[in-house]
Amino acid sequence: MKMEDIAKLAGVSKSAVSFAFSGKPGISPETRERILQIAQESGYLPRAKSPSIDHTVKSLTFLVISNSGIVLEQFYQQPFFRELIQFIEERCRTKGYSLLFSSIDMEFLERDIRMVAEEKKSNGVVLLGTNLNREQIADIANKLQSPLVVLDTCFDTLPIHFVEINNFMGAYQAGTHLCEIGHTDIGYIESNVRIHNFEERKRGFTSAIQEHGREILITHRFSVAPTILSSQDSLKAQLLAFLKEGHRLPTALFCECDYIAISAMKTVQELGYQIPDDVSIIGFDNISEAVIISPELTTVHVEKQRMAYLAVDLLIESIELEQSAGTKIKVDTHFIERLSSRANYTSKD
């Protein structure tokens, strides 16, 4: 049986079958599952034709473990990850490598990681680690047994290559900026899904404001979903309850990512407040939408191109020079002041 036969049985194109086998985005989960089920029932094993790497074609795999928290099933449509993928593909082409995609649902992690490991489709793997914990990364690395770089997180005790954002630095820059322009009544909006990056941002921001003799009161901490760009009823309810208790809206809000910041801007505006006249809002990531929203978002710029290039270069070095010692790379950020924040002249020390 050939790939064309599988396509006919599934009622899809040959390219859709290819997407299903490679893990590339472009087809729905239902279609992918149907194709793989038909292939299994028909005894068709695509890896049997090429049980090992074709050394005439150099390739890397971008491996994503999706869930419903941070890295969604349509991760390639999320601004931050979309930009990362673009730069990874760009660097691969420059280095003479093609880029394959493999996406796994967190629910089927154990089963599907074994499948990826057995297929050995590429020379090495760039693993998106944003939503993964230490144990999951260690288990994936152990099962893959191939050159690996983990992107967008870091665990110092694992003997693995990591390339991450200097999250502490970025949030520290944001906190320092707010204090230096006179804000003393500062609020913090965090993600209700906790990952390594957000914990580091919280540490960095807290450190900055403490150095300036300030603190974030427990009443000034709010929690929302991290992947919604529209206003959120849950945040609106939290803010209304906060105001009902007799508090005034903080003069500034730091948000753990741009998604949260943009959502907060829309929510606050719906409550009748002006940005930045009534409240300054700062995000983190500098996604493309940061300059589309009105007013344009003050944020922390993440060097996504630099991170992508470093990850690809480090992986290729591991493949071609057979480097085994793990390397940890932390890429610095820089602060971008736009129109969603301003000095607070009424509460300077």
**Residues 275-306 pLDDT 10s:** 999 999 999 999 999 999 999 999 999 999 99
Provide the pLDDT confidence category of residue 25 given band limits of 50, 70 and 90: low
User: Which H, E and C letters describe the chain, residue by residue?
Assistant: CCHHHHHHHHCCCHHHHHHHHHCCCCCCHHHHHHHHHHHHHCCCCHHHHCCCCCCCCCEEEEEEEECCCCCCCCHHHCHHHHHHHHHHHHHHHHCCCEEEEEEEEHHHHHHHHHHHHHHCCCCEEEEECCCCCHHHHHHHHHHHCCCEEEECCCCCCCCCEEEEECHHHHHHHHHHHHHHCCCCCEEEEEECCCCHHHHHHHHHHHHHHHHCCCCCCHHHEEEECCCCCCCCHHHHHHHHHHHHCCCCCCCEEEECCHHHHHHHHHHHHHCCCCCCCCCEEECCECCHHHHCCCCCCEEEECCHHHHHHHHHHHHHHHHHHCCCCCCEEEECCEEECCCCCCCCCCCCC
Instruction: Give pLDDT tens digits for 87-107.
Output: 999 999 999 999 998 888 888
pLDDT at 43 over 70: no
Of 107 and 241, more confident: 241
pLDDT over 60 at 132, yes or no:
yes
In this predicted structure, the answer to whether residue 170 has a pLDDT above a threshold of 90 is yes
Average pLDDT over residues 260-275: 97
Tell me: pLDDT of 226 over 90: yes
244 or 346: whose pLDDT is higher?
A: 244
Whether residue 237 has pLDDT greater than 90: yes
Residue 127 in contact with residue 149, Cβ under 8 Å? yes
> For residue 131, what pLDDT band results from cuts at 50, 70 and 90?
very high
Share of the chain above pLDDT 90, in %: 68
The pLDDT of residue 254 is: 98
Is the pLDDT assigned to residue 8 strictly greater than 60? Answer: yes
- The fold of the 167-301 domain, in CATH, is Rossmann fold (3.40.50)
Q: Give 50's pLDDT tier (boundaries 50, 70, 90).
A: very low
pLDDT of residue 68: 76
Q: What is the pLDDT of residues 180-224, one digit of tens each?
A: 999 999 999 999 999 999 999 999 999 999 999 999 999 999 999
Q: What is the pTM of this model?
A: 0.81
Of residues 261 and 16, the one with the higher pLDDT is 261
Stretch(es) of the chain classified as CATH 3.40.50.2300: 51-165+305-333, 167-301
What's the CATH fold of domain 51-165+305-333?
A: Rossmann fold (3.40.50)
